[in-house]
Amino acid sequence: MAADSATPAATPTPVRSVDEIRAQFPILAREVKGKPLAYLDNGATAQKPLAVIEAMDAYYRGHNANVHRGVHTLSEEATDLYEGARAKVAGLLGSTSPREVVFTRNVTSALNLVAQSWGTANLQAGDRILLTEMEHHANIVPWHMIAQRTGAELQFAPIDEEGRLDRAALSELLAGGPRVFAFTHVSNVLGTKNPVTELVAEAKAAGALTVIDGAQSVPKFPVNVAEIGADFYGLTAHKLYGPTGIGAIWGRRELWEALEPFEGGGSMINKVTPEKITWASVPARFEAGTPPIAEAAGLAAAIDWVQEVGIRAIEAHENQLTAYALPRLAEVPGLTVFGPQDTVEREGIISFELEGVHPHDVSEILDRHGVAVRAGHHCAQILMRRLGVAATTRASFAVYNTTEEIDTLVEALHDARRIFGL
Ligand code: PLP
């Protein structure tokens, strides 16, 4: 089963020289423990190019004001920046309608918004909510919460031994008629790239609402919501070379129109009287209070930056890194990589176990070599239980990473084995 791509394959343009790209990220010049930083924790958050840092700085220096409510010049400029960012998110996701994009704090709050607003209106006791075993807690806990409130029941589509969704088991679960199928496009632990277009088509045929967590996919390859056919698709800016504090969720216009907000406050109402309230139109209805304006300026700059480098070029570069890393990691005795072992069905998010060394110790020893990775359950405890481990170590790549950094990672892993007498 080949993972499908949301857009037709085009010949990837080679990534601009990695040195040229690295020069745009000030933090990459620093040292850690006296060694050059090898930042391989991009699945947690990506570093920010100067274009993003400067866009936020320029906003505060020259345009800062609150949006929408003012008729003065600064407020209009801030509004233009904020709404311009919305249009860029829509464009990035292949939507022609910025009004279908709602800004949130991150993808976690995006998924909470759908679970609460859609779930309150549509779920009742006995309904099924279908998730997968490879979800991040951001796509589990909000559904747990709405299940508790409504009496709906959670189901988890299993993964196979290679860390892909078990399609036969999934089909059986879909045949049971879940009201919603919420799943991740790319696993933050296994790196698995799910065949979203096929999965959405199957879920839709079964009558389920489809909600996709795009936290790890949007930074890595082109995503086109029109081609995928999903109902909701969320992203988080800080993994896309943008700032923390802002995320977004695209949804079908008619679905948004039918939903009630779950947070109330300024900006999201049409009229408030002592007796009743009427909602503002979409998307303002779902954006209560002062939004993350500087962060929107940063996100807009991040999208411009990604598009200038070229998302296909980013994809090609990271695939090369993954293809280099998998055999190199296999040289380390006692090391097991979780998830698919090829670059077709997986992305450059590589979780592994080093026999005899706890992931936190691995991570600490790697840090002595300047290598930043993540150790722990990666907010995926259901998956950890399925894999039969308490934690893993995870190296995850971005466009500025190099094969030399992967060599440093591998050398540091050999060092960890030496230190533990293995
Ligand atoms: N979903 C996946 C697959 C992730 O990897 C992450 C972050 O690690 C999230 C959701 C949550 O992202 P955020 O904390 O930005 O909401």
Same domain, 279 and 384: no
pLDDT at residue 6, rounded to an integer: 42
Residue 2 lies in a domain: no
Of ligand 1's atoms, which has the minimum distance to the CA of residue 236?
15
Let me know if 300 is exposed, middle or buried by CB neighbors in 10 A (0-12, 13-18, 19+).
buried
Residue 8 lies in a domain: no
pLDDT at residue 8, rounded to an integer: 42
Same domain, 334 and 289: no
Same domain, 32 and 61: no
Q: Assign 3-class secondary structure to 74-124.
A: HHHHHHHHHHHHHHHHHHHCCCCCHHHEEEECCHHHHHHHHHHHHHHHHCC
Residue 5 lies in a domain: no
- Domain boundary, last residue among 253, 288, 307: 307
Same domain, 329 and 229: no
Same domain, 279 and 369: no
Q: For residue 72, how many other CB atoms are within 10 A of its CB?
A: 9
Top mutation candidate among 236, 246, 382 for ligand 1, by most atoms within 8 Å of CB: 236
Residue-wise pLDDT tens digits, 235-270: 999 999 999 999 999 999 999 999 999 999 999 999
CB of 104 shorter than 6 A to ligand 1: no
- Domain boundary, last residue among 291, 307, 323: 307
Same domain, 302 and 335: no
Phi first, then psi: give them for residue 103, nearest 5 degrees.
Answer: -85, 145
Q: For residue 406, how many other CB atoms are within 10 A of its CB?
A: 24
Same domain, 205 and 60: yes
Q: What range defines the domain where residue 278 resides?
A: 52-307
Residue 46 lies in a domain: no
pLDDT at residue 15, rounded to an integer: 54
Q: Is 379 one of the catalytic residues?
A: yes
pLDDT at residue 14, rounded to an integer: 52
107 CA distance to ligand 1 middle (Å) = 6
Contact present, 21 and 212 (Cβ < 8 Å) = no
Same domain, 182 and 245: yes
State pTM to two decimals: 0.95
In the chain the first and final C-alpha atoms are separated, in Å, by 38
Report the sign of the C-alpha dihedral through residues 163, 167, 169, 171, in that order: positive
Residue identifier of the C-alpha nearest atom 8 of ligand 1: 44
Gap between the Cα atoms of 244 and 235, Å rounded = 12
Same domain, 105 and 131: yes
CB of 236 shorter than 6 A to ligand 1: yes
Structural domain total, the chain: 2
Mean pLDDT split into 10-residue runs, the chain, 422 residues: 42 71 98 98 98 98 92 95 98 97 98 98 98 98 98 98 98 98 98 98 98 98 98 98 98 97 94 95 96 98 98 97 98 97 93 97 98 97 96 98 98 98 94
Same domain, 262 and 134: yes
- Domain boundary, last residue among 258, 285, 307: 307
Residue-wise pLDDT tens digits, 352-402: 999 999 999 999 999 999 999 999 999 999 999 999 999 999 999 999 999
Same domain, 363 and 217: no
pLDDT at residue 7, rounded to an integer: 42
Count of alpha carbons within 13 angstroms of residue 355, beta-carbon side: 7
Residue 184 lies in a domain: yes
